Amino acid sequence: MQEMVEKMQRSEISTHVNKKYLNSRVFCIEIANFLMEEIIKEKISADHLLYVSLKYTKTCDVILNLLYRWKVMIEKGMEKLIEKAKKSKKWKPVPNAPRAKLVQLKKIYAKVPEVRDTLELYEFFRDVDKLEKTREHEFRKGVNLKVKYRGEIINVNIEKLEEYAEILERFISYLK
């Protein structure tokens, strides 16, 4: 009798552990799906800014808003990358600081061009508010935002924004 009770308790414990494991896996999948939905929502908003708002307004404010949207989208993508790295046990605990996460993600995904290029873009997008900027040709066809970044001038115009959009499109495809 004692043996049967112990055996039942062991099977109940293993069932409970299996349910807990299953629930944690489902929870991780739900988080991944939620993050992907959020990334896609940000991408839709950014695409609207690029292909509609910028086309009609032609202002540097729209460019700055677009860069901000992309920055937020990349941050959400970074969270998905962190989840992916944790699953493959490549993620080492770091402080909850964005810079520390960025450095570790660069090391983990150094050989993945889609991620590497996007993380470099993220650094630019993150710093663009603090950088010296010059607005040119607003309300005209050749709207341009000149940004001084790391000692060089970057012309952020429609062609450059389309290049950025292509890089980010590859990044999202990699995340899926």
SS3 track for 7-75:
HHHHHHHHHHHHHHHHHHHHHHHHHHHHHHHHHHHHHHHHHHHHHHHHHHHCCHHHHHHHHHHHHHHHH
Read off the pTM. 0.79
Is a pLDDT exceeding 80 seen at residue 24?
no
How high is the mean pLDDT of the chain?
A: 83
Is a pLDDT exceeding 90 seen at residue 123?
yes
Task: Give 95's pLDDT tier (boundaries 50, 70, 90).
Answer: confident
pLDDT at residue 127 in the model = 93
